[in-house]
């Protein structure tokens, strides 16, 4: 894939976040990676997602975070994206939003329990929440530390990043990722839907518990892995 195509994908992903209602004002950003060229492409800081054009996107070195192409500053969250790409080798796209319901769970400091098949179709278990950052982490290289605490959280679960393609940063909001920028947007949309559904489920039945492992595995397996039978065959 050319860098021109990656710019187009990233611009479309940023616009997709806005179109899905996940981004208010400029609270969000999407990026995509080109591992061969060793760069990521990301939204500029403070620019609204809904109007992002391919030529506005900023190309940043995966190696040292320097700007390779572009006249604007990259998103202030770029160091978080860099950590995720470096540590999760299988991912190709990352998004960050302050979406209304997923952010409420992040602010509550609670993982989103897996209460139904909408959740299980996308996430192989509860969507985890990070521990709070320490004072040192906040005062230091804050955005990089945000990435590190997400990695730490996934490592504690012992799960592949593409099987749990999102995490909530405590007191902050969600990050989601996927095989490319478009899939990261899809996972962010699914996350917001299940965050809202979980809140409402517990409002109806505070005692509602997680779905069983068998149903979770069946639904996650319908869409992921060697026995997937949802959607159309690859290459069709």
Catalytic residue among 121, 160, 213, 229: 121
Regarding 190 and contact with its own copies (CB under 8 A), the answer is yes
DSSP E strands in the chain: the ranges are: 28-34, 39-42, 58-61, 67-69, 93-97, 166-169, 173-178
Binding mask 103-132 for its own copies (x = CB under 8 A): xxxxxxxx----xxxx--x----------x
Query: Is residue 226 part of the contact set for its own copies (CB under 8 A)?
Result: no
Is 63 annotated in the active site? no
Q: Using CB under 8 A, count the residues that bind its own copies.
A: 62
Cα 154 to Cα 25, 62, 129, 216, distances in angstroms: 29, 21, 10, 19
Considering only residues 2-21, where is the footprint of its own copies by CB under 8 A?
A: none
Contact between 52 and its own copies by CB under 8 A: the answer reads no
How many helices (H) and strands (E) the chain has is answered by 8, 7
The alpha carbon of 45 is separated from its chain's Cα centroid by a whole number of angstroms, namely 18
- How far is residue 61 from each of residues 43, 65, 213, measured CA to CA in Å? 14, 5, 41
Contact call for residue 152 and its own copies (CB under 8 A): no
Toward its own copies, which CB reaches closer, 11 or 102? Answer: 102
Position 73 contacts its own copies (CB under 8 A)? yes
Which residue in the set 24, 54, 56, 87 belongs to the binding site for its own copies (CB under 8 A)? 24
**Which residues are part of the catalytic machinery?**
121, 230
């Amino acid at each position: 894939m050319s860098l021109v195509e990656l710019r187009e994908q990233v611009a479309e992903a940023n616009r997709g976040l806005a179109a899905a209602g996940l981004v208010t004002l400029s609270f969000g950003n999407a990026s995509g990676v080109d591992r061969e060229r060793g760069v990521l492409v990301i939204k500029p800081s403070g620019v609204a997602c809904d109007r992002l054009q391919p030529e506005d996107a900023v190309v940043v070195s995966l190696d040292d975070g320097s700007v390779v192409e572009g006249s604007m500053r990259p998103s202030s969250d770029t160091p978080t994206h860099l950590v995720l790409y470096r540590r999760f080798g299988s991912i190709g796209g990352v998004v960050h939003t302050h979406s209304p319901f997923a952010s409420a769970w992040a602010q509550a400091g609670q993982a989103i329990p897996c209460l139904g098949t909408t959740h299980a179709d996308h996430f192989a278990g509860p969507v985890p929440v990070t521990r709070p950052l320490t004072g040192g982490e906040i005062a230091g290289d804050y955005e990089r530390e945000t990435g590190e605490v997400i990695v730490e959280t996934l490592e504690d679960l012992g799960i592949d990043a593409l099987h749990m393609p999102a995490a909530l940063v405590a007191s902050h909001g969600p990050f989601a990722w996927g095989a490319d920028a478009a899939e990261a947007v899809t996972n962010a949309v699914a996350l917001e839907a299940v965050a809202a559904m979980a809140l409402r489920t517990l409002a109806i039945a505070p005692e509602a518990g997680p779905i069983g492992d068998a149903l979770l595995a069946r639904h996650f397996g319908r869409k992921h892995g060697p026995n997937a039978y949802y959607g159309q065959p690859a290459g069709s």
